[in-house]
Amino acid sequence: MLSFKYQVRATDGRLQSGMVEAASQEDATNALLERDMQVLSLQPYRGAEASVQALTRWLNRITSKDLVAGIRMLSVMVSASVPITDSVRNISKQSKNPYFKFILQDIANEIEGGARFSDALDRYPKVFSQFFINMVRSGETTGQLAEVLNYLADQQEKDYEMMSKLRGAMIYPAVILSSMTIAGFVMMVYVVPKMTEVLTESNVELPLSTKILIGTSSVMSNYWWLIILGVAAFATAFAYWIKTDYGRLLWDGAKLKIPIVGKLLREMYITRFCQAMSTLMKGGVTMVQALEIASAVMGNAVWKKLVLETIQEVNDGNSMVTALQRDKSVPLMAVQMLSVGEETGKLEEVLHRVGDFYSRSVANMTANMMTLIEPLIMIALGLAVGVMVSAIMIPMYNLSSAV
């Protein structure tokens, strides 16, 4: 697909400009003419201009916070009976993100040209998820767009709050561990060799811990460049491996088995699954369609595979929980509750309740982790420093005593 910059005159006489993607310039022209627009200029985006555009998009990438704020404002304005075109334009004027502003203006132009709101959103699948687009489409079909947007705004805010807490819980240990790694590397390469030089020249019997420390320091001092290259090569190979279907499946499965963190992730994914299914089914989407959309927004290959297996079971006439109950990563209580919901015909309500329950559980676990992480890191740091100091100071003390 190629990008084209256009300037057109709309049916009301106003001049409009923006971007359109098409296979050729002729297709781009036809796409604009289908919106009853008079094409004044149409130029391809190539070379340096395209590079600048890509760099601008990267520097001004749309954050979750931008999206959540925009959806909330849109739901408020649509609920107040403001036309959807005016609502989108008003949000674009208030947005401080140039790229988001451009997207919203283009969406408003699409709607003015006769496109449905959901179809205009579908032009930007990297910004608006299929879950969001399909919910908007169901709201347009049922005439409940305001209610759907309000519900989506609530869900987006809950998801943003949960992910913010998870990221907040991970930032502190990540910073501490990174600092410890860098400090340890510097110590082993520059400091330890000088401190242990006396010990190696004394020809005294050294403890095992001291021998290990000296050996490790010697390897790191002489082959530090090789270690850095090895780490870089491993990181590159690992990044490529997890992009493959098989690698992603194994890696996502391994994360679910990590002690404590694995449980948190399992509950987070069951929360995401239940909330997505509940929201979609409330919007009038069929179960199979809801499962197909949910599989695309799970963010975990194991869970995506599980949801796809669930679709197959439903298509074969079996219960939705048939595939779920076979997988150990799905909490047993969730399986039992969903089974009861299917049997009683209240699946949508049960999905909502299960999603809320595990959402609170994830919030509590995250808060507990944030409380425990700091003392655990301090203990680990103290033990590492203690081992290193004892490996150097004990033989030095023995040497001085012998003299």
Distance, in Å, from the CA atom of 330 to the CA atom of 302, rounded to the nearest integer, reads: 11
Distance, in Å, from the CA atom of 303 to the CA atom of 311, rounded to the nearest integer, reads: 12
The contacts of residue 320 (CB under 8 Å, 6+ apart) are: 287, 291, 310, 313, 314, 338, 342, 347
Residue from 78, 144, 85 nearest 117 by CA: 85
- On whether residue 135 sits in a domain, the answer given is no
Same domain, 27 and 113: no
Q: Give the count of alpha carbons within 13 A of 254, CB side only.
A: 7
Q: What range defines the domain where residue 19 resides?
A: 2-59
- On whether residue 353 sits in a domain, the answer given is yes
- What is the tally of structural domains in the chain? 3
Distance, in Å, from the CA atom of 259 to the CA atom of 366, rounded to the nearest integer, reads: 14
Q: Which amino acid makes up residue 272?
A: R
Same domain, 55 and 81: no
Same domain, 204 and 154: yes
Q: Which of 41, 59, 77 is the last residue of a domain?
A: 59
Sheet-wide strand order for 15-22 = 15-22, 2-9, 38-44
pLDDT number for residue 88: 87
pLDDT number for residue 327: 81
- Supply the mean pLDDT for the chain: 79
Question: What CATH number is associated with residue 9?
Answer: 3.10.20
Distances in Å between the Cα of 343 and the Cα atoms of 32, 62, 294, 346, 348 are: 51, 42, 22, 8, 12
Same domain, 228 and 355: yes
pLDDT number for residue 1: 54
Take residue 265 and report the two structure tokens written for it. 């992730």
Same domain, 30 and 86: no
Q: Which of 14, 36, 59 is the last residue of a domain?
A: 59
Cα 272 from chain centre: 12
pLDDT number for residue 55: 45
CB 391 within 8 A of CB 207: yes
- On whether residue 231 sits in a domain, the answer given is yes
pLDDT number for residue 21: 67
Same domain, 123 and 96: yes
pLDDT number for residue 47: 43
pLDDT number for residue 52: 43
Tell me: the pLDDT tens digits for 214-265? Answer: 888 888 888 888 888 998 999 999 989 988 888 888 998 888 888 888 888 8
Distance, in Å, from the CA atom of 391 to the CA atom of 384, rounded to the nearest integer, reads: 11
pLDDT number for residue 62: 76
Same domain, 186 and 335: yes
Distance, in Å, from the CA atom of 18 to the CA atom of 106, rounded to the nearest integer, reads: 6
Residue from 350, 333, 326 nearest 277 by CA: 350
Residue from 233, 228, 306 nearest 269 by CA: 306
Same domain, 219 and 276: yes
- On whether residue 172 sits in a domain, the answer given is yes
In 161-227, DSSP assigns E strands to none
For tokens 């169901």, name the residue: 138
Distance, in Å, from the CA atom of 205 to the CA atom of 211, rounded to the nearest integer, reads: 10
- On whether residue 33 sits in a domain, the answer given is yes
Distance, in Å, from the CA atom of 271 to the CA atom of 135, rounded to the nearest integer, reads: 18
- On whether residue 168 sits in a domain, the answer given is yes
CA angle 322, 327, 332 (to 5 degrees): 80
Q: For 143, phi and psi rounded to 5 degrees?
A: 75, 20
Report residues of the chain scoring pLDDT below 50.
Answer: 47-52, 54-55, 59
Same domain, 280 and 260: yes
pTM of the model as a whole: 0.66
Same domain, 117 and 72: yes
- On whether residue 93 sits in a domain, the answer given is yes
pLDDT number for residue 236: 93
pLDDT number for residue 232: 92
- On whether residue 133 sits in a domain, the answer given is no
Same domain, 262 and 392: yes
Same domain, 195 and 270: yes
